Structure 1
C-alpha cells in the first residue's frame, strides 16, 4: 500500500509540475508571484511604456504569428496537408494519416505543438499589448485615441486569428482574453460558437481602427486583413449577409485588385501573371502586387523576417526527393537553385494534381505553374538535360518524382540550395481568397449567380472557361480553392470549417489506408492530453471519439 501511495503521490506531483510549467507559460506571472524583479530591458513593464516600445513588441508579435509556419521543420505542413483531399504522406517512412486510428490521438505531436503555439506564444503576447495599451499609466504616450486603438486593433486581430485557428481545429476551446498574475489550473472549454463570437468582436474592432494597406508595413496587419478574416468568421457563425458585406469592403476598397497583367521581378521573363504572384520579391505591395493582403515575411533584412528554422521550408516539404533519382549509369541528380532540394514530405493527391485540371487553357496548370516534366540535371551525367523517363516503383513516384505547383520554388536561403529552404515570403491572405470566401457566403445565402460571378472573376484571370449559377456547389468551390490556392491555404482547417473533411478524404485521399481508416469524429482534432493533465483543477472535456 505504501509503495502504491508513493507512486500515486509522484504521479500527482508530476502532473502539478507539468501544469505549472504549461499554464504559467500561458497566463504569465508577475514578480509578486516569483519574488523576483525582472531586469531585462525587453520585459513588458520596461518596453511597453512608449510608442517605440509598442512598435518593437508588435514586430515580435508578427514574428510569433509567422512561427505558425516556421516554428520547426514540418509541423505546419503535416498540420495542413496530409490526410486531406489535396495532400498525403509521400515517403515510405512517413506515417501520419496513413492510418487515422493509430495516428490521430491526443498525444499526436502537432496536436500539442499547435495548441502550445496558440496558448503560450500568440495569446499571451497579444493580450499583453492590449492590457498595457489600455493602462492608465500609458495614457500620456498616445497622440490620440485612434493611434492607441490601431495598436490595440492589430493585437486584437492576432487574438482573433488565434482563437479562430483553435476553433477551426479543435472546436470549442478555452478563451484567453487577458493576462493573469498567477497560474490557472481550471480553464474550461467554451462552446465553439462562443469562440467564434469572441473572434468576431475582436475583428470588428480591428476593422474599425486599423489603417488601409497603403499605410501598413509589409507583414503587418491592415484593415483589409481584418475584414478578410472577419468574412471567414461570419461564415462560421452562419451570418452570411455580414460575410458578404465584409468581403465586399475588401474587394471594393480600392486598396486591392486581382493582378491581371505581368508585374514584378520576372515580368520580362517567360511566364504568366499567375506565376508572377509567386516569384521572389513579388509578394509585397512594393513589387506592384496589389493582390496581397497579409504576408509572412521571410526575406532577409525585413522586420519580423527570417524564421526559427532559417527560412521558408516549403520546397523542402512539398518538393520531391529528386536527388534520389539516378540516371541509367547510376549518377544522381543534384540540388539546383530552381528546384532546391525537396525531401518529399508531402505530395499532392491525384485529385489535386490531375483531376481538377479539366480546362486545358487554365494558366494555373501551365508549365510556368505546375512542374510535370523532369530532366537529368547533373552536369557529370552523359544524360544531362534529357527528360527523365516515367518511373513505376512506388517510392519513386510517391516521393522522388511527382508533379507539384511551382509556386513553392524560390531562391535558396543564404545561397544554399542543399538545405531545402528558400527566402521567399508566404501568403496568408490574398484577394483571390476573399473572392472565394464571398462566393461561399453568396452560395450559402442562396444567391448562386453572384457566387458564380465571384468564381468567374478568378477563372477569367486564369483564362479558364466561365461557369454558370447551376455549377456552383460547396464541392465546386473547394475545387476552385484547390486550383487557386493549392499548397497555400491551410487545407485541413478549410475542410473542417466547411464540414467536408471526412467526406472528401474518403473520396479523394491518395492512399487506400487513409480513405478506409478516417472516422467521423476526425472532423475535429482531439484536445491535447498534456493540456487535459495540466488543467487538473477542472475537467477539460475531450472531443468525442478520442
Structure 2
C-alpha cells in the first residue's frame, strides 16, 4: 500500500491546479460576464484613489499646495523637509495603488481578452471591455507621470517575481498613456451602461490633459471639443434635482445628494459611486459601526471642526449636528483660495453662501450665545491654525446616513465634470496663442456663475489656475495640476506658488519637492536593476 501511495503521489497530474471554487482569472475571464466582474474590481480600485483609507494622507494631492494647507490636527507636509521622504505614507500609497491595484487589474483584462478561451459575441464587444481597462491603465499612468515623473512601464501580467524594473522617462510614460486613451476613445460607448461606468467623453477628457502635457495643443483642442460638442454634455444652467425646492442655486445643486447620476444632469462625465447600499455604491463595515469606514469622507477631511468652538464665555458653544457632521478639518484653504481669488468678483455664484460656508452660529441651547453668529475675535479663535473656524466648500455636505458623528456622506464624487473640460480647452487655446477663444471658454463658466466676464487681454495661465480653484475646489488634485503646468513652463511652479501663497508651508519647501520621491521600499525590493531616486532625495 505504501508503494502504491508513493507511485500515485508522484504523478505530475497531481500537481495540476484546477481552481474551480474561487475567482481565478483562468476560470472567470472567459466570457463577457466574467470580464464585467473584473471591470467592477477596477472601479473599486479607482474609488480607492481618493477614499481608500481614513486619514489626512488621502489628501496629499491638495494639502501643502498653493490653495490648501493643513488644518489644526494634520502635520502632513507642514514641513516638506521633514515629512516628504521616500518612506512617507502618501508616497507609498499612490505608487502601490497604481502597481498593486490599477495596473495589474487592467493588464489582466487586456491580456486575457486576447486568449483563445475568451468567447466574444463580436470584436466590438471585446474592444469595449478592453477599452475600459485601457482607460483605467492610461488614467493611472497619467497620474504617475505627474506625481513621480518617469516610472516603470508594466504592460503585461507578471507570472513570477520580477526584480529588475527600470524607469521609463516621463515622456515615454505619457506616450504610453496616450495610446491607451486613444484606443479607449475609439471603442468606449457614448452613454454609460450604468451610473459611474466609463464613456468615450471620459477618455477624451483625460486625453486632453495628456496632449497638453505632451505639448500638443491642437490635439488637446480637438479632444476637448469632442466632449464639449458631443451633443450629450452641457453645463447645467437651471436649478435641478433633490434640493430644488430648498434655497440654493444651480452650482450647489450639482453637489447635492443623488444629483450626480440624474439623466437631467448633463454635466457629469464620470462620478465615483457612493450611494449607500446600491449597485456600485458602498457598504463597508466593521464590528462596532456598520458604516464607519464607508462613504465619501470629504466632509470629515475638508470641513471645519466647528464642534470644538467655545463661546466667548469659554463654555461649549457648538454641538455636532446632522447637517454638518463631525469634520476633523485636515484640509483648509489658504488665504489665496479662501479670499484672494474671490476679489475678482465677490458675487460670483461659486462664492455664494450656498457654496462656501463662511458663517457659523452657536447651536448649543445651553450657551448664552445660542443662535448668535460666531465672532472669532470674541471667541478667541485662531482662524489660521485652530482648524475650527474657516471658510469651506459646501460640496462636501450631504445627508449623513452613517450618523452625524461619522463625518461621512454617501454623495457621489465627480472625477470628471464638463466644467473642467472647458478649463482644459481654454488652457490649450491660451498655450496656442488664441487668447480670445480661451477667454470665451472661461466666460462660459463665469456666465453660469453670474460672474464678471474676463477679457482676452487679462488672460494668463495664472488666471486659469485661479479659475480652476474657483470652479474645482475639492475636486481638483491641485498638486498634479501644478506639476503639469510646471513641466510645460520649464520651471518649478508648485514650489514657486507654495512659497507665494501657503503661509504654513511656504518657508520650508525646496526645488527637490516638485515631485514625490520614488518609494524606498520599491527601490530596496528591485534587487537586480538600480532605480534612480528623484533628485535631492
TM-score by length of 2: 0.91
Greater mean alpha carbon deviation, residues 317-326 or residues 221-230: 317-326
* Alignment partners' CA distance in 2, 1:369 and 1:237: 35
Q: Where does residue 378 of structure 1 map in the other structure? A: 364
Which of 207, 215, 232 is equivalent to 1:238? 215
- Cα distance, 1:82 vs. partner? 1.3
- Cα distance, 1:154 vs. partner? 0.2
- Cα distance, 1:205 vs. partner? 0.3
* Alignment partners' CA distance in 1, 2:370 and 2:356: 22
* Alignment partners' CA distance in 1, 2:57 and 2:238: 32
Q: Where does residue 4 of structure 1 map in the other structure? A: none
Q: Where does residue 270 of structure 2 map in the other structure? A: 294
What are the ranges of 5 or more consecutive residues in structure 2 without an aligned counterpart?
1-12, 285-292, 487-492
- Cα distance, 1:395 vs. partner? 7.0
Q: Where does residue 416 of structure 2 map in the other structure? A: 429
Greater mean alpha carbon deviation, residues 322-331 or residues 405-414: 322-331
Greater mean alpha carbon deviation, residues 325-334 or residues 270-279: 325-334
Q: Where does residue 502 of structure 1 map in the other structure? A: 495
User: Is 1:355 aligned to residue 355 of structure 2?
Assistant: no
* Alignment partners' CA distance in 2, 1:82 and 1:88: 5
* Residues 389 and 496 (structure 1), Cα distance of their counterparts in 2 relative to 1, 3 Å cut: same
User: Is 1:529 aligned to residue 515 of structure 2?
Assistant: no
* Residues 329 and 195 (structure 1), Cα distance of their counterparts in 2 relative to 1, 3 Å cut: closer
* Alignment partners' CA distance in 2, 1:331 and 1:543: 49
* Alignment partners' CA distance in 1, 2:63 and 2:384: 18
Equivalences for residues 124-135 of structure 1 within 5 A? 124-135=104-115
Equivalences for residues 103-252 of structure 1 within 5 A? 103-138=83-118, 141-213=119-191, 215-252=192-229
- Cα distance, 1:453 vs. partner? 0.6
- Cα distance, 1:135 vs. partner? 1.1
Tell me the secondary structure at the aligned position of residue 269 of structure 2.
Answer: strand
* Alignment partners' CA distance in 2, 1:283 and 1:291: 9
* Residues 396 and 436 (structure 1), Cα distance of their counterparts in 2 relative to 1, 3 Å cut: closer
Deviations 1:454-489 (A, max 9, x none): 111100000011111111111100000000001111
Q: Where does residue 11 of structure 1 map in the other structure? A: none
- Cα distance, 1:36 vs. partner? 5.5
CA contact under 8 A between 2:228 and 2:234: conserved in structure 1? yes
Deviations 1:131-181 (A, max 9, x none): 11111221xx32211111000000000000111111110000001111021
Equivalences for residues 58-73 of structure 1 within 5 A? 58-73=39-54
Which of 263, 277, 294 is equivalent to 2:254? 277
User: Is 1:339 aligned to residue 320 of structure 2?
Assistant: no
Deviations 1:219-270 (A, max 9, x none): 1100000000000000000011000000000000011000000011111211
* Alignment partners' CA distance in 2, 1:338 and 1:381: 20
* Alignment partners' CA distance in 1, 2:99 and 2:460: 36
CA contact under 8 A between 2:269 and 2:416: conserved in structure 1? yes
Tell me the secondary structure at the aligned position of residue 117 of structure 2.
Answer: helix
* Residues 269 and 74 (structure 1), Cα distance of their counterparts in 2 relative to 1, 3 Å cut: same
User: Is 1:419 aligned to residue 406 of structure 2?
Assistant: yes
* Residues 89 and 157 (structure 1), Cα distance of their counterparts in 2 relative to 1, 3 Å cut: same
Equivalences for residues 359-370 of structure 1 within 5 A? 359-370=345-356
- Cα distance, 1:396 vs. partner? 7.7
What are the ranges of 5 or more consecutive residues in structure 1 without an aligned counterpart?
1-31
User: Is 1:44 aligned to residue 28 of structure 2?
Assistant: no
* Alignment partners' CA distance in 1, 2:278 and 2:216: 38
Deviations 1:413-455 (A, max 9, x none): 33x0101111111010100000000011111111111111111
Deviations 1:67-115 (A, max 9, x none): 1111101356432111101111111x42222211111111111000110
Which of 306, 313, 322 is equivalent to 1:322? 306
* Alignment partners' CA distance in 2, 1:336 and 1:396: 23
Structure number with the higher helix fraction is: 1
Tell me the secondary structure at the aligned position of residue 209 of structure 2.
Answer: helix
CA contact under 8 A between 2:56 and 2:76: conserved in structure 1? no
* Alignment partners' CA distance in 1, 2:424 and 2:269: 14
Q: Which runs of 4+ in 1 moved over 6 A?
A: none
* Residues 94 and 76 (structure 1), Cα distance of their counterparts in 2 relative to 1, 3 Å cut: closer
CA contact under 8 A between 1:77 and 1:317: conserved in structure 2? no
